[in-house]
Amino acid sequence: MPLNSDKTIEGSFQLVGGNFATAGEASGELKRTLTDLGVAEEIIRRAAIATFEAEINVIIYAAAARLLYFIGPSSIRIRIEDMGPGIENIEQAMQEGYSTAPEWVREMGWGAGMGLPNMKKNSDEFNIESVVGEGTTVEMVLNIP
Amino acid sequence: MILKEIAKILEASIIANPENSEIDIHSACSADMMSAVLYYHTPNSLLITSLTQPHVIRTAEIAGIKSIVFVLDKKPDKETIDLAQKKKIPLLSTSFCMYTASGRLFKEGLPGCLDK
Ligand SMILES: Nc1ncnc2c1ncn2[C@@H]1O[C@H](COP(=O)(O)OP(=O)(O)OP(=O)(O)O)[C@@H](O)[C@H]1O
Ligand SMILES: [Mg+2]
């Protein structure tokens, strides 16, 4: 399905750790942009879910992050670079149900250990890199068929 | 199932966007874990939850959930209601617990999100 644009559209966001009030702003904007471009609803939903989960992780675990998205004619690329504690064991973090979320986070409805698996499930390519004490970078690509 | 009928079955009050009470709901999901909602959701569904913070509305919007029922008489604060109004998501409040609210709707024929 051709997009209503053949250029690459970019956007960026600054995310701040601990700030639940702005959770969903980046994914909301991405969703609106993709809707305006005429991307299929199912792909928009997957992109929005993956981005939202990434935003929430930044809010819970990191100090701050930069979220970038690039929408090209055949794919959506979303990159989240955070400054935070990093992840010591990525394989473990990727397991469904693994979570180190503290009690106050669980009381807000997060900390099921499903975020990273869901980001992976909703993207066609998923990449995560982390340096303990520095931060974590997640990159996701969704193909637009 | 029409939302108005859901409200009746749950003896619930519609606390936001009552003008949208004619929407058609295809299934429901009961959860207090937002990422479980985002993992297992299906579009056009109802979320039954006891959480009332604004990010529950954001979660619903992103998952394509059309309405939210708060159980145990939980009342969201103004911020949550304002956001729901902006997103046109009708909110219901029932005194039943999550188990009973789910059971009542299931008995009347509203399937779970993952039922086929
Ligand atoms: N950006 C991050 N920085 C540091 N640690 C992280 C980051 N993202 C995830 N983690 C670690 O990986 C674990 C699993 O993350 P995941 O998103 O899958 O689940 P969760 O956030 O604990 O719960 P849920 O996403 O279901 O609400 C987290 O509990 C945390 O320990
Ligand atoms: Mg998470």
pLDDT at A4: 67
| pTM score | 0.94
Q: Determine the Cα–Cα distance for residues B42 and B67; give it in Å rounded to an integer.
A: 12
For the segment A55-81, the average pLDDT, to the nearest whole number, is 97
Tokens 């702003």, residue? Answer: A25
For B79, the closest chain A residue by CA position comes to A21
Chain B residues within 8 Å of chain A (Cβ atoms): 32-36, 38-39, 43, 49, 51, 53-56, 58-59, 61-64
Q: Confidence class of residue A139 from pLDDT cuts 50, 70 and 90?
A: very high
A5 vs B68, higher pLDDT: B68
pLDDT surpassing 60 at residue A2: no
At A91-106, the pLDDT tens digits run: 999 999 999 999 999 9
Residue A12 banded pLDDT, cuts 50, 70, 90: very high
Q: What SS3 state is found at A82?
A: strand
Domains of chain B in start order, with CATH, are 3-107 (3.40.1390.20)
Encode pLDDT of A105-125 as tens digits: 999 999 999 999 999 999 999
User: What ipTM does this complex have?
Assistant: 0.88
Among the bound ligands, the one closest to the CA of A56? 2
Could you give phi then psi for residue A143, rounded to 5 degrees? -80, 145
Ligand 1 pocket member A26 (CB < 6 A):
no
| Confidence band of A140 (pLDDT split at 50, 70, 90) | very high
Q: Is the pLDDT of residue A129 over 70?
A: yes
pLDDT value at position A3? 65
Q: How far apart are the C-alpha atoms of A82 and B80, rounded to whole Å?
A: 28
Question: Among A23, A49, A121, whose Cβ lies nearest the Cβ of B55?
Answer: A23
- Evaluate whether B23 touches B66 at the Cβ level (below 8 Å): yes
Structural domains of chain A sorted by starting position, each given as residue range(s) with its CATH number in brackets: 9-143 (3.30.565.10)
